[in-house]
Amino acid sequence: MRYYSFVVLILCLCMSSAVLAEVGLWQLKSAPKSKGETDLLLQLDIEQMAEGLQQAANEQSLITLPLPDGSYKKVTVQVTQTLSITLQQKFPNVRTYKVLSDDAIVVGRIDLSPAGFHAMLHTATGKIAYIDPITDVADQEEQQQEQNMYHSYWEAEPDDNMPEIKAKRGDTHQCALVHDHAADADYNIGEKLQKNSGFISDSAVHKYRLAVSATGEYTAQHGGTKATALAAIASTINRINHIYERDAAIHFELVDNNDQLIFTDSRNDPFYGNVDDFLQQNQTLITNIIGSDYYDVGHLFTTKGGGVALVGGACRTNVKAMGVSGYPA
């Protein structure tokens, strides 16, 4: 009898610890009041999260993540290298990870940096959840009281959020491709993939050295420093890697001196004109600073809406940095 009582006591203590870990990490502030709402408001113990993720550098680590429906998922955390080793040493507080739940219902990416914690989680139902900091608290006193506030929300269907997106962008957003070189044999990607179909089915992940520059406006939108802008870039690339690794066995890693491509003052950055003008400006910048032999693909992050790139640009040395993505502040 004493033995069974002891076992029950141990089980209760273990369950209590698990619940405390869950409650201690995330404090629920408000839940969706109706089915139409998708936002879950929480407060994160950022220090406890940092401690949990620190363990992932040496061994498997478990953390709990909140889904927008109010449920919690325990996930295994694994470090993923989004910054090169040299760049990681310069910015040790910018960390990216893969996550997977034990039941394989949730898989995705998370990151922790001076810009806070971020998560993108794909569920078995096909829905995508995001966890992001709430940064639009205007009142300083309220911001101090509501420190480390986060919202967990589902990705909206295109029809649901398109009017809001168009309004924010001034209805000018467009995704463009430059076809000037499409007839060039070096750009015939479809033919190359047919001849080298083994590349797609290859189980090995192919790493590409990625150089990402940032305009002064982009940096201002993301904290105003090289560190905060790099954190935002790393968060984006980590999420992109989740898709590319899954669908094409491709992994992007930011190059050693990527911080030299980040500008903090829009008056002094080399980008002027419209998004199309940025293509050649970015190509020149990255080739001059990084060196053509030291990166595979280049891109520019800006706040001008839309995106533009060359068809097959990554396959030719003198245009492989001609790609731009932007979203208005």
Whichever domain contains 218, its CATH number is 3.40.390.10
| 273 plus 149 within the same structural domain | no
Quote the percentage of the chain above a pLDDT of 90. 60
Cα–Cα distance, 134 to 40 (Å, whole number) = 11
Mean pLDDT of 250-269: 97
Q: What is the tens place of the pLDDT at every residue in 194-252?
A: 343 333 344 589 999 999 999 999 999 999 999 999 999 999 999 999 999 999 999 99
Which residues, at least 6 apart from 165, have a Cβ–Cβ distance to it below 8 Å? 173
Give domain status of residue 31, yes or no: yes
| 67 plus 91 within the same structural domain | yes
Give domain status of residue 29, yes or no: yes
Cα–Cα distance, 116 to 149 (Å, whole number) = 10
Q: What is the tens place of the pLDDT at every residue in 153-164?
A: 999 865 545 455
Place of tokens 């839940």: 31
| 59 plus 102 within the same structural domain | yes
Q: Residue 12 has what pLDDT?
A: 42
Which residues, at least 6 apart from 267, have a Cβ–Cβ distance to it below 8 Å? 216
Give domain status of residue 281, yes or no: yes
- Domain residues for 321? 168-326
Distances (CA, A) of 284 to 34, 217, 233, 247, 320: 52, 19, 20, 31, 11
Q: Residue 313 has what pLDDT?
A: 79
Confidence of residue 92 (pLDDT cuts 50, 70, 90): very high
Arithmetic mean of pLDDT over the chain? 81
| 145 plus 76 within the same structural domain | yes
* 141 has a pLDDT exceeding 50: no
Confidence of residue 304 (pLDDT cuts 50, 70, 90): confident
* 292 has a pLDDT exceeding 60: yes
Give domain status of residue 43, yes or no: yes
* 299 has a pLDDT exceeding 50: yes
Which residues, at least 6 apart from 321, have a Cβ–Cβ distance to it below 8 Å? 211, 282, 283, 285, 286, 287, 295, 297, 298, 299, 300
Cα–Cα distance, 250 to 245 (Å, whole number) = 5
Give buried/exposed letters for 183-215 (b at 16+ CB in 10 A, else e).
Answer: eeeebbeeeeeeeeeeeeeeeeeeeebbbbbbb
Q: What is the tens place of the pLDDT at every residue in 28-60?
A: 988 765 555 568 999 999 999 999 999 888 777
Q: Residue 35 has what pLDDT?
A: 56
Mean pLDDT of 128-134: 96
Tokens for 4? Answer: 């069974």
* 325 has a pLDDT exceeding 50: yes
Q: Could you give the number of structural domains in the chain?
A: 2
| 200 plus 226 within the same structural domain | yes
* 317 has a pLDDT exceeding 90: no
Domain boundary (131, 156, 181) is at 156
pLDDT, greater one: 74 or 185: 74
Range scoring the smallest mean pLDDT among 31-45, 57-71, 76-90: 31-45
- Contacts of 86-91 with C-beta under 8 Å, sequence gap 24+, read 86/256, 87/254, 87/255, 87/256, 87/257, 87/258, 87/259, 90/259, 91/227, 91/230, 91/231, 91/259
